[in-house]
Amino acid sequence: TRVLVLNGPNLGRLGSREPDVYGSTTFAGLVERCHKTAAELGLDADVRQTDDEAELVHWLHEAADAGTPVVLNPAAFTHYSYALRDACAQLGAPLIEVHISNPAAREEFRHTSVVAGVATGTVAGFGLGSYDLALRAVAGLV
Ligand code: DQA
């Protein structure tokens, strides 16, 4: 089964971006880890990142049309993008929201997710391990 692993703004800078919060693994490292975990679960992961809200929305349309399950780290869009939420609401297959950090334990503005209400479920706070758990959730649902 194919799964789209979509990542929003600033996640391309993993490794150098606030390593105390997000760790020292690069985005390329995350891609490799997702490919490996997915393969172990019998999934085929297509891992992408964009800083562009429109591009992310279009990738979600693609997933909606193809019936593809999605693992999504919406990054800062989590907290305010109704366009992203409306795109997520069109998905038929499972949608797992992931976060590297635990937004509930951080600044007040990170406590709201406009995506959570249209996701199948959310995994947050386990570092890059959040992606492993999200892929495991997908494997159990499809
Ligand atoms: C994040 C948490 C968001 O609040 C933040 O804007 C990000 C990353 C996470 O993975 O912990 O960019 O989604």
Note if 111 is an active site residue: no
Q: What share of the chain is helix, strand, coil (3-state, %, to 5)?
A: 50, 20, 35
Burial 103-113 (b: 16+ CB within 10 A, else e): beeeeeebeeb
Ligand 1 nearest-atom number relative to CA 22: 11
Ligand 1 centroid to residue 78 C-alpha, Å: 8
Span 80-106, pLDDT tens digits: 999 999 999 999 999 999 999 999 999
Q: Which residues pair with 121 in a beta bridge?
A: 96
Residue 52, marked binder: no
Note if 22 is an active site residue: yes
ipTM over 0.95: yes
The catalytic residue among 82, 99, 111, 131 is 99
Ligand 1 centroid to residue 109 C-alpha, Å: 11
How far is it, in rounded angstroms, from Cα 74 to Cα 115?
8
Residue 101, marked binder: yes
H/E stretch holding 99 reads strand 95-99
Q: What is the pLDDT along the chain (142 residues), one digit of tens a residue?
A: 999 999 999 999 999 999 999 999 999 999 999 999 999 999 999 999 999 999 999 999 999 999 999 999 999 999 999 999 999 999 999 999 999 999 999 999 999 999 999 999 999 999 999 999 999 999 999 9
Q: What is the pTM of this model?
A: 0.97
Residue 100, marked binder: yes
Ligand 1 centroid to residue 76 C-alpha, Å: 6
Instruction: Check residue 41 and give its pLDDT.
Output: 98
Instruction: Check residue 109 and give its pLDDT.
Output: 98
Q: Kindly tell me the burial class for residue 99, based on how many C-beta atoms sit within 10 Å of its own C-beta (0-12, 13-18, 19 or more).
A: buried
